[in-house]
Structure 1
Amino acid sequence: MNKKKRLTREARFQQLMEEAWRLIREEGTEALTLGRLAERAGVTKPVVYDHFGSRTGLLAELYKAFDERQTALMDKAIAECEQALEPISRAIADCYIDCVDTQGREIPDVIAALAGSPELEQLRRQYVRIFIDKCRRLLAPFIGSGTLPDAAMWALVGVADAVSYAATGEEITAADAKAELATLIRSQVERFRK
């Protein structure tokens, strides 16, 4: 008798996450339902509901995984680079673009789906604020007694999203997106330096 090995809860969660990303890549976020995910993963609906609770919970987990990957890449890059404005601005830009590029067109779709729900949009804004605070801390040594205002930081995020999505959509190269974002980061620091 050939029995299937039962996955641990963590292994099942990872399998479902990978299948969810694959489903979005192949069919878009509109096709992402817990029932469809269960079907594609070869499990029952209650298994998927047990892990995510709802479609909103699944989208939140997908965005959280993306954000954690982006944070880990950025932390590693910052730790390994020279602590000067140019290399730090390049590290921030490179990590942002690389992480979106690695995830492909799926992350813009997930972010668009997040915007469709007040609860999910609040979650995304929470992660953006964490990113803004991290960048502000990283750039603080280069701004003198000045400060990077919230509007300037949100503008950086807006540009980062725009150029990363343009690179993912092959409208510009990833190298051009990275260079433009790094230049903007440096110019914002110079603009508010005192």
Structure 2
Amino acid sequence: MPKTALRKLTKPERRAQLIETSKQILRECGADALTLGHLAERAGVSKPIAYEHFGTREGLLIALSREIESRHTEKLKNGLLEAPAELASVAGIISSVYIGCAVENGSEWQAMSGALRGNAEMDRVQQELADDYVALIGAAVAPFSNLTDDDLRLRCAGIAGAAETIAREFVRGRATAENAAANLAALIVNGIGA
């Protein structure tokens, strides 16, 4: 019986495979085990392929952060499209999507954040992602606020910080997903509606 040849993955398919394998390594072994060599071995590819896609371990962790944030943003945008035009509903969607992403990516997100703390490129990327998130939630809640643009941006930055902290509490087992989402939604309503 002849062997069937495996189809060679396209570059985007290979990158997606490497990202998924990286998440498995983070979940199973932690951030210290996530090296490009270990990734290549687990994915069944040569080291040069892993290096071609990410360049460095930091490049891999940054790519993982961007991928997680991209999925989060897409879910949030889709949820907001269907939101009733009231602050409580918008706040509920923002909070449930944020905590939902923590449910989905909590352990990987914690490991990545810790592994790249103090890395200048990661700090820049995290600030870029945070600014984009603040702008997105600012646009979503602006119709319900009479704050100045500067004050609204600052409140949304505070909400983003609160969301991260509440999600960490959830990941550490100090809150249920429902309780975390409800409290984040309350912070949004009280911070924007005031």
TM-score bin, normalised by smaller chain = over 0.9
* Partner of residue 17, structure 1: 19
Counterpart of 2:68, as a letter, is: F
1:155 and 2:185 are equivalent in the alignment: no
Greater mean alpha carbon deviation, residues 20-29 or residues 105-114? 105-114
- For residues 118-157 of structure 1, what are the structure 2 equivalents within 5 Å? 118-144=120-146, 146-147=148-149, 148-157=151-160
* Alignment counterpart, residue 33 of structure 1, candidates 35, 38, 41: 35
Greater CA drift, 154-163 or 33-42: 154-163
* Structure 2: unaligned runs, 5 residues or longer: none
2:167 corresponds to 1:181: no
Counterpart in the other structure of 1:165: 168
CA contact (8 A) 1:167 1:177 kept: yes
Equivalence for 2:52: 50
TM-score w.r.t. length of structure 1: 0.92
Identity of aligned residues (%): 31
TM-score for both structures, normalised by structure 2: 0.92
Q: Measure how far apart 1:152 and its partner are.
A: 2.6
Residue by residue, what CA displacement relative to the aligned partner does 1:39-73 show, whole Å, maximum 9, x if unpaired?
Answer: 11111100101111111211111011101110111
1:9 partner amino acid: K
85-94 or 108-117: bigger deviation: 108-117
Aligned counterparts of 2:125 and 2:182: Cα–Cα separation in 1: 29
SS in 1 for 2:110: helix
Q: Kindly indicate whether the alpha-carbon contact (under 8 Å) linking 1:105 and 1:169 is maintained by their aligned counterparts in 2.
A: no
> What is the aligned partner in structure 2 of residue 190 from structure 1?
193
- How far apart in 2 are the matches of 1:101 and 1:72? 16
| Structure 1 residue runs without a partner (length 5+) | none
